Structure 1
Amino acid sequence: MHRVLLIDDDEQLGPPLATYFQRFELELSHALRPSDGLARLRSGGFDAAILDVMLPEMDGFELCRTIRKESDIPIVMLTARGDVMDRVVGLELGADAYLPKPFEPRELVAHIQTVLRRRNGHNGPATAQAPGVLAFEGLTIDPTQRSVLRQGQALDLTSTEFDLLLLLAREAGRVFSRDDILNQLRGHDAELYTRAVDIVVSRLRKKLEPLDCIKTLRNAGYSLALRRLSQ
């Protein structure tokens, strides 16, 4: 059973959600404060985290930033504001999905199931088409293990970042438009939009440095510009 940690200061939210999550073989734990949530995450054993934006001690964005410095655990963010800029900031910080409050429990479960499925490598037909390791100059991608080596160093990528890199790598040299990328990554967040693609690409580029391998073609899209070493 997958374990999920909810970090939200609403004491009334956790118990009914935990009961509902059990229907889908998900074990939900509830931390009321970021400090407690961080301590639990650092102790290990969790497969995903749900963060509220409005929290004591630190807001959900700062909490997300802190978690991302230490872990690539899938993160779903919640907010009562539903502001587009909140979604942008959340994506910039490494969140995998975003859900405005109030929400239906089934919708939250769907987000969790999606990020877990992608994290575990069950991406449907696209994954089945290319199960082997993709090796390039300075970059190795293992779709089965969902791991990436940059010049021999393991990278911590979010599930969104990994899926974007894998999409570009499977057809290196092909230019993918933003619409192409959106259609492939919508499983992460039903409200992904064009600006989000640019955010994820920018974040991925930074993690791939010093490799300069994701090229932008003005008014066209993005491509991976590395020489393939093996098929």
Structure 2
Amino acid sequence: MRDQPSSVHILLVEDDDTIRRSVGLSLERYGYRVSSAPDGLTGLEMFRETEHDLLLLDVMLPQLDGIGLCRRIRETSQAPVLMMSARGDALDVVAGLEAGADDYVVKPVDTTVLLARIRTLLRRATFTAPMPADDDTGVLSFRDLTVDTRGLEVHKDGTPLALTPTELRLLLEFVAAPGVALQRATLLREVWDYGWDGDIRVVDLAVQRLRKKIGADHIETVRGFGYKFRR
């Protein structure tokens, strides 16, 4: 992943011509390189032809909607995905996050919020700093799960797991404090870098996706509070 906006390539998939142009121009004004598509199938073709650092997808798209497009992207890529929902509708948001999106914004899009979410996702994807570990190798083991906190690799029963940057950051937060109950608000702040009240559904659905990959028994729900990683 590249660090400078001028070298960051974003794929914007939005069927509304006015919104597509305005969002694209706003991103380019801040130095990002933007490719755009008016429908889901065209967006999928562009995704397959060219590497992109981040994908910005509208939920409601012709031919292949944003939810389906996100699922297809997640079959081969762990690149950050940010969804745009016209109404902030609960079903749209949940469906997008369940499909593998990292976060969402509500249309009409506030440029300040959009840029903040993009920068956060890009920082998360370039995360390389080692975390404190119990030994010199930085490798932590939890039954069938092995987490290399320095090499940023996760194995389950010896098989490497493909985690999105968000899922990896979430897991690192958990393994840094096994047995400690972590509030959803804490996870929003540390993983999603929210400086304001965020949507806890983002946390719940990210935990749900992570459980499917590492095994549901590793993460315990603390009702009315948050989650903790089992020792």
Calculate the TM-score normalised by the size of structure 2. 0.82
Aligned twin of 1:120: 126
CA deviations on 1:144-190 (whole Å, 9 max, x unpaired) are 55432222222222333222111010112222133332332342696
Q: 2:116 maps to what in 1? A: 110
Runs of 4+ that moved beyond 6 A:
none
* Residue deviations 1:102-130 (CA, integer Å, cap 9, x gap): 112332222111101101106xxxx5653
**Mapping for residues 183-202 of structure 1, pairs under 5 Å:** 183-187=189-193, 192-202=198-208
Identity across the alignment (%) = 36
| Distance in 1 separating the partners of 2:226 and 2:202 | 13
Q: Which residue in 2 is equivalent to 1:225?
A: 230
* 1:25 matched residue in structure 2: 31
138-147 or 53-62: bigger deviation: 138-147
1:64-79 mapped onto 2 (5 Å cutoff) = 64-79=70-85
Q: How many angstroms apart in 2 are the aligned matches of 1:68 and 1:149?
A: 19
Q: How many angstroms apart in 1 are the aligned matches of 2:30 and 2:144?
A: 41
Residues 16-46 of structure 1 show CA distances to partners (whole Å, capped at 9, x for unaligned) of 4334323433111001121121122122420
Give me the CA root mean square deviation. 2.6
Query: Are 2:131 and 2:149, in contact at CA under 8 Å, matched by a contact in 1?
Result: no
Distance 2:178 2:121 in 1: 25
Farther off after superposition, 41-50 or 11-20: 11-20
Measured at CA, do residues 154 and 23 of structure 1 come closer, stay the same or move farther in structure 2, by a change above 3 Å?
A: farther
**Relative to structure 2, which stretch is displaced further, 10-19 or 39-48?**
10-19
Indicate conservation of the 8 Å contact 1:9/1:31, yes or no.
yes
Q: Structure 2: which amino acid aligns with 1:20?
A: S
Counterparts of 1:45 and 1:64 in 2: how far apart (Å)?
15
1:216 to 2:216 alignment: no
The yes-or-no answer on 1:134 pairing with 2:136 is no
Cα 1:113/1:194, change in 2 over 3 Å: closer
List runs of 5+ in structure 2 lacking aligned partners. 1-6
Task: Report the secondary structure of 1:187's partner residue.
Answer: coil
Q: Classify 1:6/1:190 alpha carbon distance in 2 versus 1 (closer, same or farther; 3 Å).
A: farther
Q: Which moved more, 1:83-92 or 1:13-22?
A: 13-22
Q: TM-score normalised to the size of structure 1?
A: 0.82
Q: Describe how 1:10-159 pairs up with structure 2 within 5 A.
A: 10-121=16-127, 127=129, 130=132, 133-136=138-141, 137-143=143-149, 146-159=152-165
Gaps of 5+ in 1: 227-231
Compute the displacement of 1:203 (Å): 1.5
Give how far 1:97 is off: 1.4
- Structure 2 distance, partners of 1:159, 1:188, is 16
Count of aligned pairs: 221
Instruction: After superposing the two structures, state which structure 1 stretch, 134-143 or 158-167, moved more.
Output: 134-143
- What CA deviation, in whole Å up to 9, does each residue of 1:74-103 have, x standing for no partner? 011112112133222222222111111111
- The answer as to whether partners of 1:97 and 1:188 remain within 8 angstroms in 2 is no
